[in-house]
Amino acid sequence: MLAHRTNRRRIATIAATGALILPVVSLTGTPTAAAAAPVLDTSLARSPELSETSRLADRRTVVTGDRAWVLGTADGRFPAAGFHTRGEMGGIWLPNLKLLDGMWFGIDGDWIGEGTKTTAGWGYVRTDLPTTHGVAASRTDVVPDGVSGVLMGLSLRATRTRTITLKLNAHSELMSSYPWGETNPSQTGVNLPDTVARRGGNLEFRDRGTAPGAHQTKHSWAAVVGSSLDPAATGNATGADFRGPQDPATICPASGPDAPTQPARCDDTEYGHGAGGQLSYRVKLRKGETRTFWFGVGGSTEGVGRARSELRAALSDPAGALEDLRAARQQIDANTTVDLPGDPQLADSVRWSKQMLAASEQTVDDVHVRVVNAGQNYPAPVGTLRSMSWLGAGWPDYTWLFGTDGEYTAFAAVAAGQFGPIEAHLRALRDVSAIANGGSGKIVHEVTPDGAVYFGANADAGNTDESAKYPSAVNLVWHWTGDRAFLRDLYPASKAAMEWVAKQDADGDGWPEGLGNVEREGMGEEKLDNAVYAVRGYADLADLAKARGDAKTRRWAVAHARALLDHFEADWWYGGDTRSYADSLDDPGNEQVFQRHWIGLTPTDAVLPAIPGRKAAPLASRKHAVATLKEHQGPCYAAVGLGLFHTGTGPTSAETGNPGSSCDSVVSAVPSERNIYTLNSAIAAVSEGNYGRLGTGQQGLYTTGNARAQLDPSLWEMPGMMPEVVPGGDSGANIERLFTERSMVMQAWGAYGTLWPVVHQWLGVSPDAGRGRVSVVPQVPQGQTQASGDQIRVGRGSVDVAAQHHGSVYSTTVDRHGRIALTLGAVLPRGSEIVSATLDGRAVRPRLTTTSRGLEATVARGGGQGSSTLVVTIA
């Protein structure tokens, strides 16, 4: 750690006698129940933690590994949750197969009560439980990587030495990740009944057979539940129920237009055809001693034998698995370690965003790719993949492979130094797209873990932006990793993607048709975001082609990019008092359509690499960019401290519930949608930073909103996890909604709005690792004096960056770990005059370049290692 780093602010610490004291953030409210003294097993590995005590029954929690995950509520219960197959998206899952609705524990004839505190760590969640018959308890949920199973550790401490009866209930629901509740076919028709049997001290749940309908195949799904303990001779049983304290279960109707109003809380739905069972154990507790007993479930799509093996693997060393997971997450934490004295909340958000990205990694084997036409049919598979790894978009309803989500998340992933997962994600997109679309070049939009391409096949009307963004994501990863094998592997798909985009131009104006991120009535054929990312996509393809020595493709891509750049502002700037870009163009005639969607900021978000005749720069002209960024800060488009609306408001005469006369005068047939998605705010944050607007009333509006969404208990459900939608505007908090009607408790793409601004814009890290160079040109936000980051990965090495700004003096220190050519500098106010500049104490004359961020003063250092410091003083 560099000497210039300051001690990070810690809000609280937790400790127990003999325990390792670790940094935490305590986010506690009014307890839901009288809490006993916490039960902490000091032999178990722990990480920095975030805790909460308020409204635990209303907060979802999720714990993931790369091959399984578990979602319940913070009080330790498992209500029916999720909407794709309504009520069945929670519980215990493999990526492609649901295993259980839940697991529950009891002591001496009574169920353990609702939890009193939830604590999120790196790769685990601990629930403090009330005392039952003199036994205090806590439950630690862990999902080891590489294992198709879940572990639950029950830590117990008795007030006196005694032997207790400990019982476990488990209820199965073996169900594939696709189809969903309202697709054709539906889970109503294809979900077969589960069976349960007790064998060798375990409960074995099975779903075997062939579901009715075309193209269904014989399957053998299994979940095996057990413990490292031996069950007692009595108290074991199987049957239809066995949901612990959630018996008798409230069974809610399946979704659909004829479904009656859902009860406030459900335990299962009419989709369910599970089975239940109970295992009983006799365990001895010594007075005052804490012991942890481990229970688990292993699952498989390949029969009960494989499920047994997965359970054995999970239970072979649970404490060791937790330690391995903690150690792996510690390595992730060690990369991109930032210190932001002027914004410690954002620094904490960066830290937890790295963990959120790690929690999003998913892997599944034997993927059967089929094109399901937005859920309207279920054809035979068109191909298979031996394995597929990706970054899941959001839990619990969007855990699968997405193009758009992953392409935005790529920026956060490289800034966090998590190169492998995003490379795997982009390869998975390439592989599935090649199978589903027959080599057309089109990149798919949405793929479930069992291979159902829900949207993005050749016959679908979009999403055009997915294909346009693909070469940009590949080029981004290539620049940060310098991985030539990755470049060689994905260059052909990048080229094919832009060739496909070029063909989506029926009127010959260069702007591609098709659906984009926003799909609303009244939009024209050509969408703004598709246009923006197509221009950038051509420029990035040209850069990739240069790296590959493909001169012909480079000329083609440059020609397309320059042709569109020549008339972008004329075609898309709406002007007037909107001070915004049109959302779409309506053919014939390219008539501008303005509806105030968040995609209006994509021209300020997209940064193009250099092409002949144009320096690397954001797409939007500075004049129009500043105008529209200022417009979007107002109450017509954003909520202070929360973020950017999906669709802004117009004049009072056209819409109700808007801020009034401050809104522009354009009347739109589309009503406002003042829901704040963390992605919307991320794009706004990055846009502000692209133009050097880092103040608290500029970029800070959005970085603060996303950081609060992750760390402020009034906004999130689960500590440390950034949600899909932030409460505010027209959207209430998730905890006020039915569990079957909520947005995602964790959505990876929001990290784009925290990691990328800090690493790329504040610290100024911009690698070109494949060409052996990196540029570091920081910009400390207005009103702050310093920012730093250690172990920011660049290629096979890393850089440490420290930036300071005190009055007229700007200082940048870069430590290189690994040989790489360095350009270092600082962003100065426009029009600045330099009084002096030194590099490692020797006078230098910096190169001055006016960019969208300001006046950049830079000096070049050759390839090498070690520390370099540039100090610039202005008049």
Phi, psi dihedrals of residue 117, rounded to the nearest 5°: -160, 140
Are the C-beta atoms of residues 321 and 145 closer than 8 Å to each other? no
Instruction: Collect all residues with Cβ–Cβ distance below 8 Å to 470 and sequence separation of at least 6.
Output: 403, 407, 426, 429, 443, 493, 494, 497, 537
Nearest to 12 by CA among 33, 28, 1: 28
Q: How far apart are CA 590 and CA 507, in angstroms?
A: 9
**Position 642, amino acid:** L
As a whole number, mean pLDDT of residues 45-49 equals 96
Nearest to 645 by CA among 593, 683, 696: 683
pLDDT for the residue 662: 72
Question: pTM of this prediction?
Answer: 0.95
Phi, psi dihedrals of residue 839, rounded to the nearest 5°: -120, 110
Q: Is the pLDDT of residue 32 over 80?
A: no
Q: How far apart are CA 844 and CA 841, in angstroms?
A: 9
As a whole number, mean pLDDT of residues 318-326 equals 96
User: pLDDT-derived band of residue 864, with 50, 70 and 90 as boundaries?
Assistant: confident
Q: Is the pLDDT of residue 652 over 70?
A: no
Share of the chain above pLDDT 70, in %: 94
Greatest Cα-to-Cα distance within the chain, rounded to the nearest angstrom: 86
81, two tokens: 């949750």
Q: How far apart are CA 781 and CA 700, in angstroms?
A: 9
Instruction: Collect all residues with Cβ–Cβ distance below 8 Å to 226 and sequence separation of at least 6.
Output: 201, 202, 203, 279, 295, 296, 311, 315
The angle, 0 to 180 degrees and rounded to 10, between the axes of the packed helices 528-548 and 484-503 is 140
As a whole number, mean pLDDT of residues 170-190 equals 97
Share of the chain above pLDDT 90, in %: 90
Nearest to 583 by CA among 539, 628, 534, 518: 518
As a whole number, mean pLDDT of residues 201-208 equals 98
Lowest mean pLDDT among 76-85, 418-427, 441-450, 457-466: 457-466
Q: Is the pLDDT of residue 6 over 50?
A: no
Instruction: Collect all residues with Cβ–Cβ distance below 8 Å to 200 and sequence separation of at least 6.
Output: none
Q: Give per-residue pLDDT as tens, 603-622.
A: 999 999 999 999 999 999 99
Q: Is the pLDDT of residue 735 over 60?
A: yes
Phi, psi dihedrals of residue 455, rounded to the nearest 5°: -155, 145
Q: Is the pLDDT of residue 661 over 70?
A: no
User: pLDDT-derived band of residue 5, with 50, 70 and 90 as boundaries?
Assistant: very low
Q: Is the pLDDT of residue 766 over 60?
A: yes
pLDDT for the residue 658: 52
User: 3-state SS of 754-803?
Assistant: CHHHHHHHHCCEEEEHHHCEEEECCCCCCCCCEEEEEEEEECCEEEEEEE
pLDDT for the residue 659: 54
Sign of the C-alpha dihedral computed for residues 603, 609, 611 and 613 taken in this order = positive
As a whole number, mean pLDDT of residues 629-639 equals 94
As a whole number, mean pLDDT of residues 412-422 equals 98
pLDDT for the residue 18: 28
Q: Give per-residue pLDDT as tens, 691-700.
A: 999 999 999 9
Question: Which helix or strand (DSSP H or E) is residue 167 part of?
Answer: strand 162-176
Place of tokens 């524990």: 105
Phi, psi dihedrals of residue 830, rounded to the nearest 5°: -55, 140
Q: Give per-residue pLDDT as tens, 136-177.
A: 999 999 999 999 999 999 999 999 999 999 999 999 999 999
pLDDT for the residue 413: 98
Nearest to 821 by CA among 850, 778, 859: 859
Q: Where are the beta strands (DSSP E) in 16-134?
A: 22-26, 49-52, 60-64, 69-73, 91-94, 97-107, 110-111, 117-120, 124-132
User: pLDDT-derived band of residue 256, with 50, 70 and 90 as boundaries?
Assistant: confident
Q: Is the pLDDT of residue 31 over 60?
A: no
pLDDT for the residue 649: 92
pLDDT for the residue 862: 87
Q: How far apart are CA 577 and CA 662, in angstroms?
A: 10
As a whole number, mean pLDDT of residues 590-606 equals 97
Instruction: Collect all residues with Cβ–Cβ distance below 8 Å to 256 and sequence separation of at least 6.
Output: 181, 182
The total of other beta-carbon atoms located within 10 Å of residue 630's CB is 12
